[in-house]
Amino acid sequence: PAARRSAQGRRRAPRYGRMAPADPWGGTWFLTPPAAAPEEALLALEDAKERARMLLERYGVLCRELANREGGSLRWAALFRALRLLELAGEVVAGHFFEGLSGPQFALPAALGALSDRDSTPADFWCAAADPASPCGLALDWPELPQRRPRNYLAFRQGVLTLVIEN
């Protein structure tokens, strides 16, 4: 259609919206990656199970904060489905074992047995703030925890934080 002249004599752009037929391929389109083969999906899930078992052997109890602190393919989002499958298989137990940690926590049955078999007062110990077992960097409600740095240390006496050494 030819452009029309308005009352002032200027040319106006034609209105194609009313005259043009509907576009059957309208919208935003993009190419999706091909779906992974079932064998590849099973291999990826088995790899995630192995990573979850490795972290459970390291910590005994695994939660979102510990997994995300590891980073990479050991992050919580990459392991959660595998942890649920390990729970269904009876390899781990899910629950809320420690206060101050968010969401579900997964533990090895042997770790839970060790928690229930020990006496009421835990042994005295110390650890480096950068150690994976250290509570530093977990955003807990302990105001006296130092930053997670190589030269910071924590000392516990009967399960209570008694000494903080910084630098």
Q: What angle do CA 125, 128, 130 make, to 5 degrees?
A: 140
For residue 119, the tally of other CB atoms under 10 A from its CB is 6
Q: What angle do CA 118, 128, 75 make, to 5 degrees?
A: 85
Instruction: Output the pLDDT for position 24.
Output: 66
Residue 75 pLDDT > 70: yes
Q: Rounded mean pLDDT of 15-44?
A: 73
List, in sequence order, every residue forming a beta bridge with 157; answer none if it has no partner: 160
Q: Rounded mean pLDDT of 14-33?
A: 67
Instruction: Output the pLDDT for position 76.
Output: 93
Residue 136 pLDDT > 90: no
Instruction: Output the pLDDT for position 115.
Output: 59
Those residues whose C-beta lies under 8 Å from the C-beta of residue 87, and which sit 6 or more positions away, are 93, 94, 106
pLDDT category, 15, cuts 50, 70, 90?
low
List, in sequence order, every residue forming a beta bridge with 127; answer none if it has no partner: 154
What does pTM read for this prediction? Answer: 0.55
Instruction: Output the pLDDT for position 6.
Output: 53
